[in-house]
Amino acid sequence: MNKTILLIEDKPTLLDTLKSLLELNHYKVIVASNGAEGMEQAKLNRPDLVISDIYMPVLNGYELLELLKKDDMLRNIPVIMLTAKTEIDEIDLAMQKGADGYVTKPFVFKNLHAIIKKFLH
Amino acid sequence: MIQSLEKERSLLEMKTHFISMASHEFKTPLTAISSTMELLQTKLQMDNLLDQFYTHNISKISSEIFKLNTMLDEILTLSTIVSNNIEVRKQAVEIERVIADIKYQYFSERKDDRVLNLKVSGTPQPIYADRNQLSKIFTNLVSNAFKYSSSNPVVKVHYQKTRVVIKVTDDGLGIPEKDMPYLFQSFFRGSNVDAIEGTGLGLSIVKDFVERNNGNIFVESKENKGTTFTIIFKYPDHIPAA
């Protein structure tokens, strides 16, 4: 059965392209355009993996991460963060808050896919 | 006089802030462009339409996107240095962890399957330095080692009694002797690297960051044989509590 990925990104073009790339690689993809929508979708669909941008309106990626890791039903879902900031401190912060992986923008899909496979296969 | 100096400083801060914002904001459309290229490539491949012409030209677009991204990062870093707006946030840092992090972040899963070899000797001891700046130093040096050679670069971390010595080595193009005095100047590019694109900012940033963190940098190079950058940081007498 295809694994389900919840993809959270506020920029529609990037969201659409990443969704298509993941679908071409045989994943079922659910999308959300901010952390709050992402949290709703996570509760509703219990995805196998979450990929989330950090800087988003309404609820950002760090806030989402905290909510996911506090929720008994969702805390074991691996979360990969996407960030435009490359400073190690920023990446450390994401890992401290419970992220399981991170990818800096712009990225090569092969690299993102390698991390996804580490958690899903 | 004071008023005009303050105005000047405020303008400089605004400029740096603008460059920082623009640099980060540019990365999302760059990511969208590169991902769309990959989407097209994947679809063409699935439909058995991906011939050499498409592969070659898609790879050119992708390579230019990543060059633009590097330029953005370097312009951002240099603008913070020039405006003297850069903060050095020193803390206890394990140098081999910084290098292992950048190896994972930037130099794994390369398209050409080359790898970064990290060799550690001696008993690990922390230094007192800014982690982000250390990360930038080794990212720039390792990027250059990949860019100007065709084999696997090596980073050797040697913990000695009073200091740690880090060597970044490649066996690539090397640096012509006549270029050595200008190597760390902003916008200077070696006379033998015309065919390889770059901004000429990377090494000036490296030198600035090494010195801000009380380190020393040396370079040994032979044209067509390769280059070794050596960086030395002394261990602190004591590390202030965080």
The 10s digit of each residue's pLDDT in A55-75 is 888 999 999 999 999 999 999
The Cα of B57 is separated from the nearest Cα of chain A by a number of Å equal to 16
Q: Which residue has the higher pLDDT, B161 or B201?
A: B161
Domain A4-120 falls in which CATH fold? Rossmann fold (3.40.50)
In this predicted structure, the answer to whether residue B137 has a pLDDT above a threshold of 90 is: yes
Please list every residue in chain B whose beta carbon sits closer than 8 Å to the beta carbon of residue A102.
Answer: 105
Task: Print the domain residue range for B6.
Answer: 2-82
Q: What residues of chain A have any CB closer than 8 angstroms to a CB in chain B?
A: 11, 13-14, 17-18, 20-21, 24-25, 84-89, 91, 102, 104-111, 114
pLDDT confidence tier of residue B130, bands split at 50, 70 and 90 = very high
A106 preceded by a cis bond (ω within 30 of 0): yes
B66-70, B102-106, B118-122, range with greatest mean pLDDT: B118-122
In this predicted structure, the answer to whether residue A27 has a pLDDT above a threshold of 90 is: yes
Q: Are residues B32 and B78 in the same domain?
A: yes
Could you tell me the residue ranges of all domains in chain A?
4-120
Q: Are residues B100 and B67 in the same domain?
A: no
Q: Are residues B116 and B54 in the same domain?
A: no
Q: Are A33 and A55 in contact (CB under 8 A)?
A: no
Q: Which residue has the higher pLDDT, A92 or A39?
A: A39
Q: Are residues B31 and B123 in the same domain?
A: no
Q: Are residues B121 and B55 in the same domain?
A: no
Q: Are residues B106 and B180 in the same domain?
A: yes
In this predicted structure, the answer to whether residue B90 has a pLDDT above a threshold of 80 is: yes
Residue where a domain terminates, one of B45, B61, B82? B82
CB contact under 8 A, B109 and A91: no
> Each residue of B7-18: pLDDT tens digit?
777 777 777 677
Q: Are residues B32 and B151 in the same domain?
A: no
Separation CA B45–CA A95 (nearest Å): 35
Q: Are residues B95 and B46 in the same domain?
A: no
In this predicted structure, the answer to whether residue A52 has a pLDDT above a threshold of 90 is: yes
From the number of C-beta atoms within 10 Å of its C-beta (0-12, 13-18, 19+), residue A28 rates as middle
- Provide mean pLDDT across the span A1-6: 91
Q: What is the mean pLDDT of chain A?
A: 91
CB contact under 8 A, A106 and B27: yes
Q: What is the mean pLDDT of chain B?
A: 87
Interface test with A, best of B35, B68, B71 (most A CBs within 10 A): B35
> Among all residues of chain B, which has the CA nearest to that of A13?
B32
Interface test with B, best of A14, A51, A115 (most B CBs within 10 A): A14
Q: Are B151 and B143 in contact (CB under 8 A)?
A: no
Please list every residue in chain B whose beta carbon sits closer than 8 Å to the beta carbon of residue A109.
Answer: 35, 38, 42
Total number of domains constituting chain B:
2
Element of type H or E holding B217: strand B216-222
Number of cross-chain residue pairs from A and B with Cβ atoms under 8 Å apart: 73
pLDDT confidence tier of residue B242, bands split at 50, 70 and 90 = low
Q: Is the pTM of this model over 0.80?
A: no
Q: Are residues B46 and B119 in the same domain?
A: no
Q: Which amino acid is at B178?
A: K
- Provide mean pLDDT across the span B194-214: 86
CATH code, B48: 1.10.287
Separation CA B62–CA B227 (nearest Å): 28
Tokens of A75: 């805390």
